[in-house]
Amino acid sequence: MTACTSRTISSITHQKPKHKGQRLCIIAGVLDEGADGSKLLTTRVFRGGRRQPKDYHSMFDHDYFVDWIKQLMDELDLLGKTGAVIVMDNASYHNGLPLATPKGTCKKLDLLEACQRVGVDATPDEYRTVIWAKLQAYIKHNVIPEVVTLARSRGYEVVYTPPYHSDLQPIEYIWAYVKGIVDRQYTTEITMEHVRWLLDIAHTKKKVSELSAYLVELDAADEAANEPALPGVDESSVDEDSDDDQSILTDIVV
């Protein structure tokens, strides 16, 4: 399983709102292969331009992401991981539809022609907004994102996490861990070159391995905690183990 995401780290001065600073953007995947096999994949790091949006997601467009995911699958092929599940969140550039998909800005005649092609019942005497609502419903249930089609054509499967459930994405913990390390070294004099040095790919790879190993341990601890107690086992010893697991979490996250 491969998770992919993008993240940014800003270099700012204390006088400026956070979104005004320059952004160092990272887009990468993480191969989920347990404590020993997890690794960073297809990493790209670049600096945002002068006119940057408040939401860093809009710095990545759909075409850029399609190009990146092609490179990701090339790398997975070389690793012999064909058939892997690619897990991602619901960012808009992850969900781009094929270029030929009708849009709400199309003219009424174009919408009618599109309805006719796909078998949606619509007539010229209906308002354009009504025609679009019918076609939009069809698109929602029948047209799949371009990257899904692309992945399936190469033997991979794309799975999207539910909205607002980043806790289901292990890669979110990894990026939070990496960003936390950089954040704790921030000063008002820091430069983008220094931020880039802190995010050196070799260092990031090491952190991915460290936290992947920790997540494996955490999953094992969760499974053990949910198993029914065996006859003769003192439950107080289970509580002590749980406290130890919590201390591990504190050591890594803080």
Cβ pair 44, 68 in contact under 8 A: yes
The confidence score (pLDDT) of residue 140 equals: 94
Looking at residue 189, the DSSP 8-state letter turns out to be T
pLDDT mean over 126-130: 96
Find all residues with CB under 8 Å of 132, minimum gap 6, and list them.
104, 106, 111
Phi, psi of 55 (to 5 degrees): -95, 115
Q: 57-61, 84-88, 92-96: lowest mean pLDDT where?
A: 57-61
- Alpha-carbon distance of 129 to 15, in angstroms, equals 46
pLDDT band at 58 (very low <50, low <70, confident <90, very high): low
The confidence score (pLDDT) of residue 249 equals: 35
- Alpha-carbon distance of 25 to 54, in angstroms, equals 13
- Alpha-carbon distance of 41 to 76, in angstroms, equals 8
The confidence score (pLDDT) of residue 26 equals: 81
The confidence score (pLDDT) of residue 1 equals: 52
- Alpha-carbon distance of 221 to 245, in angstroms, equals 7
- Alpha-carbon distance of 96 to 148, in angstroms, equals 10
The confidence score (pLDDT) of residue 4 equals: 59
Q: Is it the case that residue 119 has pLDDT exceeding 90? A: yes
- For helices 62-78 and 146-153, give the axis angle rounded to 10 degrees: 20
- Percent of the chain having pLDDT more than 70? 73
Find all residues with CB under 8 Å of 185, minimum gap 6, and list them.
198
Cβ pair 178, 185 in contact under 8 A: no
- Average pLDDT over the chain reads 77
More confident position, 230 or 31: 31
Token readout for 163 is 């909205």
